[in-house]
Amino acid sequence: MIAARDGPMVQSMTQTIRLAGRDIAYRVVRSPRRRTIALQIDHDGLQVRTPQRASERQIRGVLEDKAGWVVTKLEDWATRPRRAQRKFESGECFPLFGQSVSLEITAHPTRARTRVELKDGQLAIEIDRHLVGEMRSTTIRKGLERWYRRQGEADFPARVERYADRLGRPVAQVVIRDQKRRWGSCDARGIIRLNWRLIGADPELIDYVCAHEVAHLVVPNHSARFWAVVADLMPDWKARRRRLN
């Protein structure tokens, strides 16, 4: 699994700890599905994802052990520009297979149903001419999401099967999902789930995620044996993972 996201029954609360001479706020997210404590840092700050029964002492122990890493990462994220808010207007660029494509929005005089197609290097979108304001933006966003999902459904399964065939392991199903903090996952039944947003990445990075999840058909955890399987499938996996991160 890449970039795990907890499921239902999640509990969240914000606390503060002093690390390396700094008071650092962090949000604790408890989930009955987690088995280990994981740290996550982004523009929203530090998040500690823990098992339901993890004690405050255990959490603070992990934070103190990782104090240097936490401070460095927080400083790094503080220098990164925040992702611009999407306006869903003509000329705005979106990623597709590692390239940038621009929107070309047309208000159709008769058609009410939104239509999206890739035409001459642009994402051409036709929408109901009566749509304005937030309704217009929402319609375009949802139309784009449906289109991206369809591209993933058309592209990802063949990539997954290619790596699964090399391992001689069957894939029960490839499911395209909407996930905010996970590129992919593989469950015990052999169902591989991939994030539709992955369609924006370079094909080499899509392949890495597919190979990573296929390797879980052999080894369900992230042990040294698992990474050996990934290396057999993709010798340069470390470089690809760095690019993906």
Chain center to CA of 155: 17
Choose between 109 and 145: higher pLDDT: 145
**Per-residue pLDDT tens digits for 77-98:** 888 877 768 889 999 999 999 9
DSSP label of 2: B
pLDDT band at 6; cut points 50, 70, 90? very low
- Whole-angstrom Cα distance, residue 62 to residue 180? 25
**Statement: residue 181 has pLDDT above 80:** no
**Per-residue pLDDT tens digits for 215-227:** 999 999 999 999 9
pLDDT band at 8; cut points 50, 70, 90? very low
Q: Is 140 exposed, middle or buried (0-12, 13-18, 19+ CB in 10 A)?
A: buried
CB-based burial, 65-77: b 16+ in 10 Å, e otherwise? eebeebbebbeee
Contacts of 243 (CB under 8 A, 6+ apart): 202, 204, 205
Per-residue pLDDT, 182: 86
Q: How are strands ordered across the β-sheet holding 122-128?
A: 93-96, 99-108, 122-128, 115-119
- Whole-angstrom Cα distance, residue 169 to residue 50? 32
- Whole-angstrom Cα distance, residue 130 to residue 109? 9
Q: Is 200 exposed, middle or buried (0-12, 13-18, 19+ CB in 10 A)?
A: buried
**Statement: residue 12 has pLDDT above 70:** no
- Whole-angstrom Cα distance, residue 162 to residue 156? 10
**What's phi and psi for 60, nearest 5 deg?**
-65, -35
E strands within 109-197?
115-119, 122-128, 173-177, 184-186, 191-195
Task: Give the number of other CB atoms < 10 A from CB of residue 170.
Answer: 10
Choose between 159 and 107: higher pLDDT: 159
Assigned token pair, 81: 């520009």
